[in-house]
Chains A and B, each alone.
Chain A
Amino acid sequence: MSAPNGSLLSVQGIAKRYGPVVALRSADLTVQPGEIHALLGANGAGKSTLVKILSGVFPADAGSVAVNGRTALLRKPGDSMAAGIATVFQDPALIPDLTFSQNLRISGLARDDVMPWLERMDLAHIDFDLLVGDVPLAFLRLLDLARALAHRPQLLMLDEITAALTTDQAEHVFDVMREWKEQGRSVLFISHRLGEVLAMCDHATILRNGSHVADFALAGVDESQLVTAMLGEELVEELAESAEDAAVETGTLTKAFDTPVVLEARDLRLRDKVNGISLELHKGEILGLAALEGQGQDQLFQVLSGDHRPSSGELLVNGKRLNARSPYDAIRNGVVFVPADRQQALLPQRSVRENLTTPLYNRVRKWFTLAGDEADRVDRAVARLDIDVRAGSQAQRLSGGNQQKVTVGRWLASGFDILLCFDPTRGIDIQTKAQIYDLLRELAAAGSAVILYTSELREIPLVCDRVLVIYNGRIVHEQDAATATEEILLTSAHGLEEAGA
């Protein structure tokens, strides 16, 4: 029962439950000084819970934590800071209504403390007086990282930091991690991108269903070994089969669609963000969109989903002009939207059932009773998406992957023709990812149409039929998804193709 000699962090038997849901059964983790240590597991495995416990966000129910060989009581964030641990959380811990410099002051830091790090990450130009709420997520992650680094922690914990980052931004993060390691300090790295993990990390600890299942020294280990450890043998085989099915299907769908156009955008513009986008979406088609962060794709989706009126241009749904005043008008016409940020789509304190059925009651004439087939609709959506509803009395208690399924399932339960998905697989595990992609293919095969923006370019050929690349609010590239390699997409996403062609 003793921690290995000289370890920086030693965690033993940490357990945590939220009401009826066990988030962590027994988590063990040992991090040595001067190493980059990966914490891996499917969604709901308990990674974020462990990180939060180690950050002093909430206490564990049982277990012990030792830092530098001494038992550490982590009751509040300050305890963990004092023990030399700093964290960059999945959701940036910055206050949106304050400027970045005000946020710094709250954490007791000055501009000069973070400036060297911002320079390292090519962010020296950032305006410190910008409201945090107006800064794109990717930048916030990096600002949050700079802030954490300024505390010069012994252990830096990065929870899904690369999920929203572009390749070059992620590269900056990796540089910092390497430097941290060279200084004899440590990094605890959480990522669903196993390529990054294998390239960057020395050791990995794997959690499954809240328990510690394996430790790996990563030299000589390949992705499939990690995946098997994360998911267990049976699931891996199942997933391999469904991936083959998907590949076969996409192979047959590379020809141009001759089905009717269900959604057409004509020269859409919104302020200086969307600069004249025209596109056609066919029935049964999955249209992929690729773009670097902040190229107007957010605003394009706001316009398509009726959340924002375009400055000019028009939108036609089934040939009829749609002039939406609010998402309601788009939804009435069968156009529905799954946002990237689950916090924008979930009713955290309400049940899964209520979350799934909210759109059923958005018309005044539906106010007076509940839908007679409500239970059926819910059951079908839950079964189809395989949602774990054990913690279903409050959506906020579900794991991230299950929450994401609820945001998609809402539209399965209430019906739609055209599904707009904005990065629906950001920061979720490969199992849920595969389920969501399978679902999109099934929906398209059944006659729906899908527009899918994803930051995971590699997955575009697997899921989509056709892909458009957006750069600076314009479509700069279009091609069959089947032949869209990451290189092609990245090149055009940087706006390089225009010059070359």
Chain B
Amino acid sequence: MSVDATPALDAGPDPEQQTALRRSGRYLATHPHWVLVFVLIVLILITGMIEPNYLSVSGLRNSALFAAPIGILAAGQTILMLTAGIDLSIAMIATGAAYFAANQSPNGPVLAIVGALVVGIVAGALNGVGVGVFQVNPLIMTLAMSGILLGLFTEWAQTIFAGSTRMNDFIRTLGGGSFFGGRIPWAVVVWATLSLLVVYLLRRSGFGRNLYALGDNTVASRLSGVRSWQVLLAAYTIAGVFGAIAGILLGGRVGAVDLQLAGVFLLPSVAAAVIGGTSIFGGVGTYTGTILGALILAVLNSMLNFLGVGTAVQQMLYGSIIIGLSWLYTRIAATQ
């Protein structure tokens, strides 16, 4: 019996067309940022169709203002996800830092801000010691840290933090104010400055190389002389600082603090990094992607607000996005 050697393994309609399709698919898989830019523009246009006023300086400014704390929190998540870690306590760190800043607000902005940053450094460093030195699983370590911090802050709200819960004017301007005729929010300037720093760290620094190496192959990193505890300690501390900065900005925007201040931003902070293509398994990802992810979430938030969709549904949506995209990126990675 003879066998016809048709390309049986690959029964596409037209090989020529298929390779072109595949090639563009492959290009997008390796350069996902263009997809994100496209999605972002489409979302902005759709939102503009729903509410024409959105396509104005103030509409877009509000989205940027909303994106800033998400983007800063997500910078922490991106750095940690590159090492195959995560910080589930980052929103609680933000809340605590904001509390501290409000409490110290009567003593002037410098003390308030420095104090808030110290909260971030201490909590982040504790996470880093747990994960890096004692090798506690990052999910467990930071989830537990989140619980401990919630307990502490709840207790302190009546004692140590009793007093001012209102933010200093300087911090309020920083978190919610704008300049250049109300066009550019100060919070976005803070975010942009931090973004430059993070992009530099990830692309142009030895520390960045260590983050990627550690997340990609722990054994190989060790054999190259990378001491993971040092890298992880630094990474979790940086994430804690970013948490604190986001907390200061959020508190400043709201004007006063309470224990629910930053909680709703935990899921979006992870979602922004995942949307941006950072792998939760470590070793792959960029902060540019995360920035686009944060912007997309912010526009989505505006759109849903215009449609009258509440926070509850928004949280469900963030959750679904994380699940859906994690699945999608795993698929893409598998076919590469």
Q: Which residues of A contact B3 (CB under 8 A)?
A: 2-3, 10, 64, 66, 69-71
Q: Closest residue to A411 on the B side, CB-wise? A: B224
- In angstroms, how far is the closest chain A Cβ from the Cβ of B274? 17
**Can you show 19 pairs from A to B with CB atoms below 8 A apart?**
A12-B5, A13-B5, A14-B9, A60-B10, A64-B3, A64-B6, A71-B8, A73-B8, A328-B227, A337-B223, A345-B223, A350-B212, A354-B213, A357-B209, A358-B221, A358-B226, A359-B225, A362-B226, A370-B205
Q: Which residues of B contact A332 (CB under 8 A)?
A: 225
Within 8 A of A (CB), among B1-58: 1-10, 15, 26, 30
- In angstroms, how far is the closest chain A Cβ from the Cβ of B42? 27
Say yes or no for B159: interface residue by CB 8 A criterion.
no
| Known contacts A2-B3, A10-B3, A59-B10; A358 and B15 CB within 8 A of each other | no
Say yes or no for B216: interface residue by CB 8 A criterion.
yes
Within 8 A of B (CB), among A338-361: 339, 343-350, 354, 357-361
B283 touches A64 (CB 8 A): no
| Known contacts A3-B2, A64-B5; A364 and B224 CB within 8 A of each other | no
- In angstroms, how far is the closest chain A Cβ from the Cβ of B90? 22
Say yes or no for B206: interface residue by CB 8 A criterion.
yes
Interface string of B206-224 (1 = CB under 8 A from A): 1101101100110111111
A350 to B4, CA, bound (A): 42
Say yes or no for B230: interface residue by CB 8 A criterion.
yes
A362 touches B210 (CB 8 A): yes
Q: Which residues of B contact A298 (CB under 8 A)?
A: none
A350 to B221, CA, bound (A): 12
A393 to B30, CA, bound (A): 10
Say yes or no for B204: interface residue by CB 8 A criterion.
yes
Q: Which residues of B contact A2 (CB under 8 A)?
A: 2-5
A12 to B4, CA, bound (A): 10
Say yes or no for B284: interface residue by CB 8 A criterion.
yes
Say yes or no for A108: interface residue by CB 8 A criterion.
no
Say yes or no for B158: interface residue by CB 8 A criterion.
no
- In angstroms, how far is the closest chain A Cβ from the Cβ of B215? 9
- In angstroms, how far is the closest chain B Cβ from the Cβ of A321? 19
Say yes or no for A366: interface residue by CB 8 A criterion.
yes
A167 to B4, CA, bound (A): 43
A59 to B204, CA, bound (A): 38
Interface string of A53-76 (1 = CB under 8 A from B): 100000111111110011101100
A-B complex: 5 closest residue pairs judged by Cβ atoms: A361-B206, A2-B2, A362-B225, A367-B207, A358-B224
B1 touches A346 (CB 8 A): no
A350 to B210, CA, bound (A): 11
Say yes or no for B260: interface residue by CB 8 A criterion.
no
Q: Which residues of B contact A73 (CB under 8 A)?
A: 8-9
Q: Select one of B2, B5, B213, B225 contacting A350, CB under 8 A.
A: B213
- In angstroms, how far is the closest chain A Cβ from the Cβ of B245? 20
A344 touches B212 (CB 8 A): no
- In angstroms, how far is the closest chain A Cβ from the Cβ of B15? 7
Q: Which of B5, B221, B223 has the most CB of A within 10 A?
A: B223
Q: Select one of A1, A343, A345, A368 contacting B5, CB under 8 A.
A: A1
Q: Which residues of A contact B1 (CB under 8 A)?
A: 5, 69
A336 to B204, CA, bound (A): 25
Interface string of A15-55 (1 = CB under 8 A from B): 00011000000000000000000000000000000000100
Say yes or no for A331: interface residue by CB 8 A criterion.
yes
| Known contacts A2-B3, A64-B9; A367 and B206 CB within 8 A of each other | yes
Q: Which of B3, B30, B221, B283 has the most CB of A within 10 A?
A: B3
| Known contacts A62-B15, A345-B223; A368 and B9 CB within 8 A of each other | no
| Interface, chain B (partner A; CB < 8 A) | 1-10, 15, 26, 30, 204-207, 209-210, 212-213, 216-217, 219-227, 230, 234, 283-284, 336
B26 touches A358 (CB 8 A): no
Q: How many A-B residue pairs have CB under 8 A?
A: 144
Known contacts A13-B7, A61-B9, A354-B213; can you find 15 more A-B pairs with CB under 8 A?
A59-B9, A59-B10, A63-B10, A64-B3, A64-B7, A66-B3, A326-B222, A326-B225, A326-B227, A331-B224, A344-B219, A345-B223, A361-B226, A367-B205, A367-B207
B223 touches A347 (CB 8 A): no
- In angstroms, how far is the closest chain B Cβ from the Cβ of A367? 4
Q: Which residues of A contact B225 (CB under 8 A)?
A: 326-328, 331-332, 359, 362
| Interface, chain A (partner B; CB < 8 A) | 1-3, 5, 10, 12-14, 18-19, 53, 59-66, 69-71, 73-74, 305, 307, 326-328, 331-332, 337, 339, 343-350, 354, 357-362, 364, 366-371, 393, 410
- In angstroms, how far is the closest chain B Cβ from the Cβ of A57? 11
| Known contacts A69-B3, A326-B227; A360 and B206 CB within 8 A of each other | yes
Q: Which of A327, A347, A358 has the most CB of B within 10 A?
A: A358
A361 touches B210 (CB 8 A): yes
A65 to B5, CA, bound (A): 8
A368 touches B205 (CB 8 A): yes
Q: Which residues of B contact A354 (CB under 8 A)?
A: 209, 212-213
Q: Which residues of A contact B15 (CB under 8 A)?
A: 62
A349 touches B9 (CB 8 A): no
| Known contacts A1-B5, A69-B3, A71-B3; A368 and B223 CB within 8 A of each other | no
- In angstroms, how far is the closest chain B Cβ from the Cβ of A262? 19
A343 to B10, CA, bound (A): 31
A370 touches B9 (CB 8 A): no
A366 touches B9 (CB 8 A): no
- In angstroms, how far is the closest chain A Cβ from the Cβ of B210? 6
Q: Which residues of A contact B212 (CB under 8 A)?
A: 347, 350, 354
B223 touches A61 (CB 8 A): no
A348 touches B206 (CB 8 A): no
Q: Which residues of B contact A307 (CB under 8 A)?
A: 222-223
Q: Select one of A12, A345, A368 contacting B206, CB under 8 A.
A: A368
Q: Which residues of A contact B209 (CB under 8 A)?
A: 354, 357-358, 361, 370
A217 to B4, CA, bound (A): 26
B9 touches A350 (CB 8 A): no
A362 touches B10 (CB 8 A): no
A65 touches B8 (CB 8 A): yes
A349 touches B206 (CB 8 A): no
Q: Select one of B4, B8, B206, B220 contacting A370, CB under 8 A.
A: B206
A13 to B7, CA, bound (A): 9
A347 touches B206 (CB 8 A): no
